[in-house]
Amino acid sequence: MSEPLPLSTVPARTSTRDAQQLRRAERRLYLGLATAITAAVVLGFARTFFFRPWYPQYAQAHGAPETIFYVHGVAFTAWLLLLLAQTSLVTAGRVDVHRRLGWVGAALAVIMVVLGTVGSLVAAARPSGFIDIPMPPLQFLVVPFNLIVLFAVFVTLAILNRRRSQSHKRYMILASIALIEAGVGRWPFALMNTPSPVPGLGMIELCVDLFLVPMIVWDVISRGRPHPVTVWGGLALIANQLLRFKLAATGAWLAFAGWAVRLVS
């Protein structure tokens, strides 16, 4: 997921030894990002999924009871493990194995889109709506739906750019960042319930957006400017956060959401 840095992206005055060091640093960066994304999800779902037997009362009160969410949890875990495996393979220099596993990731992404869509509709169809979410379920449905669309778009672009490693790796990380909001929203920190210093964004969205920072910093260090995928992908993620609740309040969205939920009711 983070193939070697092409020589074309290395400044002309950089020596061969410096270029090799830059490549190694890049590999460690993307492995670190994959690890941080995984840790963010595990932390958020520790009490309701990953370590559920140790938190029975909390899991019963705050965990989803439907079977589909256990299946979705397994698929999500598989995605995170694959993300770690792919970045680890590139770090170890096994790009050949990394490429062969790529189509496994593509198939898993399709499964996740289907499970995420159906799971969101099941949650919205509950009489009580989404667990621990006070917003009306038809309106809140805009959040998982938009994130699923972003994930699908980023993965599709990653597949189309699989021979352009600098774009491919960024799209895959962006796709994974798009999925972590539910996990971040369940972090057991009081900070998550405090007002955000950034207008228009809550603390959950702000914490998710912080995962973009290492990519931007690395782009500036290695290229002298942010990569176009980092810029446009990051803007798409933030724009989604700023605009989705405006969409949720429209009659067109409520009509669509109501129709979609009836499909699983």
Domain boundaries of the chain, sorted by first residue: 10-262
Average pLDDT, the chain: 91
Least confident of 7-11, 142-146, 167-171: 7-11
Give pLDDT tens digits for 146-185.
Answer: 999 999 999 999 999 998 989 999 999 999 999 999 999 9
SS3 content of the chain, % helix, strand, coil (to 5): 75, 0, 25
- pLDDT interval class at 27 (50, 70, 90): confident
Cβ distance 179 to 147 under 8 Å? yes
What one-character DSSP code corresponds to residue 213?
Answer: H
For residue 165, give Cα distances in angstroms to 92, 191, 214, 234: 16, 37, 18, 18
pLDDT digits (tens, 9 = 90+) for 197-240: 988 899 999 999 999 999 999 999 988 999 999 999 999 999 99
Assign 14 a pLDDT band (cuts: 50, 70, 90): low
* pLDDT at 145 > cutoff 50: yes
Residue 3 above 60 pLDDT? no
Least confident of 9-18, 42-51, 120-129, 191-200: 9-18
pLDDT for the residue numbered 238: 96
For residue 96, pLDDT over 90 is answered with: no
Helix (H, G, I), strand (E, B) or coil at 130: coil
pLDDT given at position 107? 94
pLDDT confidence of residue 185: 93
Token digits of residue 123: 């949650």
Tell me the percentage of the chain whose pLDDT exceeds 70: 94
Say how far residue 78 (Cα) sits from the centre of its chain. Answer: 13
